[in-house]
A and B are shown apart, each in its own frame.
Chain A
Amino acid sequence: MPLEKELGYFNSIRAELVKTHEGKFALVKDETVIGTFDQAESAYRAGVAQFGTAPFLVKQILREEPVETVPALTVGLLNARL
Chain B
Amino acid sequence: MPVYSRSYWPSNQFGYPHNLRIFGPLISVEIGVPQALAQHLSSHNLPVPAPVPGVALIDTGASITSVDNSVFRTLRTQPVSIATVGGAHGSAQQSVYPASISFPGTALQGLDFNQVLGCDISGQATGLQQPLIALVGRDLLQHFVFIYHGPMGLITFAH
Interface residues of A (CB under 8 A from B): 1-4, 7, 40-41, 44-45, 47-49, 52-59, 65-75, 78-82
Contact = CB atoms under 8 A, between A and B. Distances in A.
Contacts of A81: 119-120
A3 B79 contact: yes
Contacts of A69: 61-63, 85-86
Given A2-B79, A44-B34, A55-B78, A80 B61 contact: no
Which DSSP category, helix, strand, loop or mixed, fits chain A's interface? mixed
B40 interface: yes
Contacts of B59: 70, 72
B40 A70 contact: no
Interface stretch (B2-10, B14-22, B91-99, B148-156): B91-99
Given A3-B81, A68-B86, A79 B121 contact: yes
Interface string B79-122: 11111111110011111001000000000000011010111111
A66 B84 contact: yes
Q: Counting chain A CB atoms within 10 Å of each CB, which of B36, B80, B86, B91 scores highest?
A: B80
29 contacts: A3-B80, A3-B82, A4-B82, A7-B93, A41-B36, A41-B112, A41-B113, A44-B80, A49-B36, A52-B44, A53-B76, A58-B81, A59-B81, A67-B91, A68-B83, A69-B62, A69-B63, A70-B135, A73-B85, A73-B119, A74-B86, A74-B87, A78-B135, A80-B119, A80-B120, A80-B124, A81-B119, A81-B120, A82-B120
B84 A67 contact: yes
B97 to A, nearest CB: 10
A14 B81 CA distance: 15
B82 A82 contact: no
B85 A40 contact: no
B147 interface: no
Contact of A72 (B62, B91, B112, B113): B62
